[in-house]
Amino acid sequence: MAGHLDVIVIGGGIAGVAAALESAAAGAVTAVVRAGPGATALASGAWHGPLPSLLGEALAAAGLPHLPVDTLLPHPFGDLRPADNAPATHAAARIDEAACVCGIAGLPHFPAAALARMWRAPRHVTLALPETPAAGWSPVALAAALERDPAGLIAALRQLGAGTRAILPAVLGLDPLARTAERVAAAAGVDVAEALGVPPSVPGWRLDRTLVRVLERSGVTLLEGRVVDRAVQDDVVLSVRVAVRGEPVLRELAAAAFVLATGRFVGGGIAAADGGEEVDVARGQALREASLVERALGCDVWIEHLGDRFREVQPVPLTDPVRAEPQALLRAGVHVDAAGRPRDVQDQVRYRNVTARGAVVAATSHGLGRAAAGAAGGAA
Amino acid sequence: MKRRLLAWLNLAYHFWKHVLTRWWLRPFRRGRDLRRFRAQVEPEGYLPLPFADRAQFPDFMRCIHCGLCALACPALRAAPVTAWVEAWTFVAGPSRSLDRVALVARAAAPCARCAVCPAICPTGVPIDRLAVMIEGLAAGARAG
């Protein structure tokens, strides 16, 4: 491991990789500490908000180009969803006269007839592949099988006739570098597009694998591990201690600046506290310990609807029973100033050399299943 | 009066037979009682769980159905298999019914215990321990 680092990015999802690319492009020696796939790997394929140009170019170079979307994208829940960008196979999934919704026999949760009705597609068909397993396909097993040998699917798609746009479930290969969709389209003589994905999300997995490739190609050091401790002096983080996977001893990594991009709940950036209590001696009453903690750097977690009270003596409802209402819990996170630096309970900057990015920041509304542009704000 | 006396004698005979035989033979017959119990409940799909296995269930219940374990699995990528091979479908489902255990154990045969999936699980479900437990349950179901 190189001794000197300028920037350490904690978190390797979209926000973390975007920050690392900016930092590396600015000439800083950068490392990314990544615990594993997070919420990015569960993304549906639709991208909301602007795609940072550096990240967009890097994704394209690594085999997963994102295109601007000028239509609503079909989602397997039965609705059509707006998106700003999407990988080419999803961006092509326009529902018009040429569209034919193609279910696959044995693959659950993609009922072609019902989806065609809800998406208002003129045609639907259920394709039968050879060698369907007795208990049916899972999307992952099917994507792996099609990546290896798409001949069965190609033969079935040929029956649709030229000029058709086949809207398939998101199972055309696990690895974007295998170019399964292009191979299938060329051999079958029809246009091929994929609907968005739901967990276990093949589009999310492709995005996550591609982000790792982007880091490898951009000269950023990638460490698989979790930040467990930090050394702080005068609101400056000097170093972090990282439990690298497979190494028995913690590594101490020092840098001039840190980016906190650990995500929210699924990413593991924000977690429930152990439930300890602390006592406010001056007022002689038990003060409820903050119920949520930021795990990597110990920043205070801000809950939006508490406003300036920040930490409340009485327990407060974090969820609304009406699902459509805004849920305070889903907007909890690290409170930042205009420069993206985390603020503490007293509204003071907690660490002067830390910038928070992505879903770990309070009140960013994107979350599970949504690749988003929280990555775009702030500077590394 | 005579029938009443016979009834009492009959009752006394069965009481003493129980005290003299079943009661002190009980430690030696425990296995047979357990077999009788299992013969009653297993056709219904219930499996007796040891305490140590039961204590692991809160860990398994942390599953959020994200399916990352399936996406990361090298064995799953190598060979097309049924949906039941994936750890999360078992964790998420009604995981103790007998037919399901046998199905999963059979389908999970390609699992190489490579420990990729517990490392990748965002909520830290110990999927490798789950695989061992499923195998044990399936073996127990076959033996019993």
pLDDT digits (tens, 9 = 90+) for A305-338: 665 555 555 556 777 788 877 777 888 889 899 9
Q: What is the pLDDT of residues A85-141, one digit of tens each?
A: 999 999 999 999 999 999 999 998 899 999 999 999 999 999 999 888 877 888 888
Can you read off the two tokens belonging to residue A243?
């439990």
Chain A residues touching residue B78 (CB < 8 angstroms): 144
- Record: contact A266-B122, CB cut-off 8 A: yes
pLDDT band at A375 (very low <50, low <70, confident <90, very high): very low
- Record: contact B66-A266, CB cut-off 8 A: yes
| Cβ contacts of B121 within 8 Å, gap of 6 or more | B68, B69, B127
Q: Which comes out higher in pLDDT, residue A113 or A273?
A: A113
- The answer to whether B84 faces chain A, any CB pair under 8 Å, is yes
Distance separating alpha carbons of residues A147 and A258, to the nearest angstrom: 39
- Residue A149 DSSP symbol: -
Can you read off the two tokens belonging to residue A84?
């700003």
The SS3 call for residue B74 is helix
Of B70, B80, B89, the CB nearest to A133: B80
- Record: contact B67-A141, CB cut-off 8 A: no
pLDDT band at B117 (very low <50, low <70, confident <90, very high): confident
Dihedral (Cα; A354, A357, A362, A365), 10-degree rounding:
180
User: CA of A37, closest CA in chain B: separation in Å?
Assistant: 7
* A355-A359-A363 Cα angle (round to 5): 95
Looking at the predicted structure, is the pLDDT value of residue A341 above 50?
yes
Q: What is the pLDDT of residues A135-173, one digit of tens each?
A: 788 888 899 999 999 999 999 999 998 899 999 999 999
Distance separating alpha carbons of residues A172 and A190, to the nearest angstrom: 14
Strand partners, A194: A168
pLDDT band at A225 (very low <50, low <70, confident <90, very high): very high
Contact A16, A39 (CB under 8 A): no
Q: What is the DSSP string of A13-65?
A: SHHHHHHHHHHHHTT--EEEEE-S--GGGG--S-EESPPPHHHHHHHHHTT--
Can you read off the two tokens belonging to residue A361?
């920041």
pLDDT at A330: 82
Chain A residues touching residue B122 (CB < 8 angstroms): 36-38, 266-268
Strand partners, A191: A165
Looking at the predicted structure, is the pLDDT value of residue B45 above 80?
no
Q: Give first-to-last CA distance, chain B, whole Å.
A: 50
pLDDT band at A285 (very low <50, low <70, confident <90, very high): very low
- Residue B67 DSSP symbol: -
Q: What is the pLDDT of residues A6-45, one digit of tens each?
A: 999 999 999 999 999 999 999 999 999 999 998 899 999 9
Q: Which ipTM value was assigned to this complex?
A: 0.81
